[in-house]
Structure 1
Amino acid sequence: MVIPAHNEQRYLPACIDSIKRAAGSIHCGVEIVVVASRCTDATAEVAAASGAIVVRDDSRNIATVRNAGIRASTGEIVVTIDADSLMHHDALGEVERHLATGRFVGGGASFVPERRSIGIDTTIAMVRLSMLITGLGGAMYWFRRNDFDAIGGFDERLTIAEDLDFARRLREFGRRSGRRFITLRSAPVVTSCRKFDRFGDWHVFGMIRHPGEVRASMRGTDTVFADRYFYDFSG
């Protein structure tokens, strides 16, 4: 398990607890690696107190942070999840069962928000439609280490959208060997709504009125957009 974390002392304990509960459904041990990145709070101390391995990487690049955590881990199977998310109790069991068949290169997971409103539900519906069209699930990614190495890990040239880029490349790599990339729908991740809390439940639709911001988010290289919504954001 690899968790990138920037000032996550508030959310991290619940995330780690959810992983420990999910670990009860599998037949091997679970190593939890927390990558403390540019933290000014007690994220590293909270992680260590929870029994996690703490790695420090102050790169202002989430792809670099993810890669650092994965390379510091030792397991054959890798699962990544964000610190403000909660893992489903059967998620690791589903990952283990799917990879054991040899028919899957890896995948993502569906998600549900921690609270609901008309604005949030409408936004989530749009995201789920995109996931259905592209076949790329988010919220949590899982794969084998050798496949991660084969495709070169997360692209450190990207400041955002590195996860979707990684998922696309992993899916294409799997296709070449007859293995599928799938989204786990029976074990959804619960995600925080802190960006909705900060920017408003309809803020995504406000972005649509500014196509430049949308294009920036799609490029994955716009540092102004990335700083506002990710690197300078602390919930």
Structure 2
Amino acid sequence: MDTLFSVIIPAHNEEKYIGKCLRSIKRAAKEIKEKVQIVVVANRCTDRTAAVAEHYGAMVVENEDRCISSIRNAGVKASCGKIIVTIDADSIMTKGTFAEIKKLLFSGKYIGGGAMPKFDRMSLGIAVSTAYVALNLIPVMIKSGGMLSGTMFWCRRRDFDKIGGFDESLVSLEDMDFARRLKALGKKCGKKYGTLRKSRVITSSRKFDEFGDWYLLKDRKLTKAIFTGRDRKAADKFYYDVR
């Protein structure tokens, strides 16, 4: 049986979370007849992330980069599915996801798209922090042509290749850039950029759990620096050097 979906999961020391993610993918895969491949890109892992991934039957790709774009691209390069789906290792895919993506892509009306996130818990601090982030992203969204969903991207492999995958010159905001370029390709083809309506992505509040629900507001200079997309020092401090 040919592989229809390849799910790409970047993972850095995610042994505590990735099991839930993988189980959610397998549950969603049961609702379609086609084969679903899971590719976990084990990025600089020093824990059992790779072992957990292999336990659930995922392909594991070792990677040492400090750029989420190149990490995701490495996973896509190693995969074989006709449709690419990306999701974070600490997120959960809801049932019906593959069925909905398949329906939208096979309709011929959509180039691909994203999904809407939902935190696994909510508080005043998380709500205010995410609102602050949204306000800072308004200029970027205007430049990108409006609000485009992300969180979990989905598109055909051929279209992923046409736009060159994720931009490896960006150290942050690579998701918004990918959405913008995918939408632009769709416009040329007479297709829309879509957002899953029935399926959601349950995203982890782990950073808020660890650093506090208001942590994005504690160092506003750093948070704003992330929204340039090219501040290497800020990206390292925010993403890659977190302890």
Q: TM-score, normalised by structure 2?
A: 0.89
Match of 1:37 among 26, 34, 43: 43
Return 5+ residue gaps in structure 2 as ranges. 1-6
Match of 1:233 among 226, 235, 242: 242
Structure 1 position 199, deviation (Å): 2.5
Structure 1 position 186, deviation (Å): 2.2
**1:1-235 → structure 2 map (5 Å cutoff):** 1-124=7-130, 134-208=146-220, 210=221, 213-233=222-242
Query: Are the structure 2 counterparts of residues 188 and 128 from structure 1 closer, same or farther at C-alpha, using a change threshold of 3 Å?
Result: farther
Aligned CA RMSD, in angstroms, stands at 1.9
Note the alpha carbon deviations across 1:134-166, whole angstroms, 9 max, x for none.
331121000000001101111111111111111
Aligned partners of 2:216 and 2:223 also within 8 Å: no
Tell me the distance in 2 between the aligned counterparts of 1:182 and 1:207.
34
Query: Are the structure 2 counterparts of residues 127 and 96 from structure 1 closer, same or farther at C-alpha, using a change threshold of 3 Å?
Result: farther
Tell me the distance in 1 between the aligned counterparts of 2:33 and 2:184.
29
Query: Are the structure 2 counterparts of residues 35 and 136 from structure 1 closer, same or farther at C-alpha, using a change threshold of 3 Å?
Result: same
Query: Are the structure 2 counterparts of residues 100 and 170 from structure 1 closer, same or farther at C-alpha, using a change threshold of 3 Å?
Result: same
Q: TM-score, normalised by structure 1?
A: 0.92
Structure 1 position 14, deviation (Å): 0.6
Query: Are the structure 2 counterparts of residues 19 and 152 from structure 1 closer, same or farther at C-alpha, using a change threshold of 3 Å?
Result: same
Q: Report the more deviating stretch, 64-73 or 185-194.
A: 185-194
Tell me the distance in 2 between the aligned counterparts of 1:205 and 1:161.
19
Aligned partners of 1:26 and 1:96 also within 8 Å: no
Tell me the distance in 2 between the aligned counterparts of 1:44 and 1:165.
29
1:60 is paired with a residue whose SS is: coil
Note the alpha carbon deviations across 1:54-96, whole angstroms, 9 max, x for none.
1111111111110010011101001000000000111111101
More strand by share: 2
Return 5+ residue gaps in structure 1 as ranges. none
Tell me the distance in 1 between the aligned counterparts of 2:187 and 2:24.
32
Tell me the distance in 2 between the aligned counterparts of 1:121 and 1:21.
30
Tell me the distance in 1 between the aligned counterparts of 2:59 and 2:163.
25
Structure 1 position 233, deviation (Å): 2.8
Aligned partners of 1:16 and 1:50 also within 8 Å: yes
Query: Are the structure 2 counterparts of residues 123 and 90 from structure 1 closer, same or farther at C-alpha, using a change threshold of 3 Å?
Result: farther
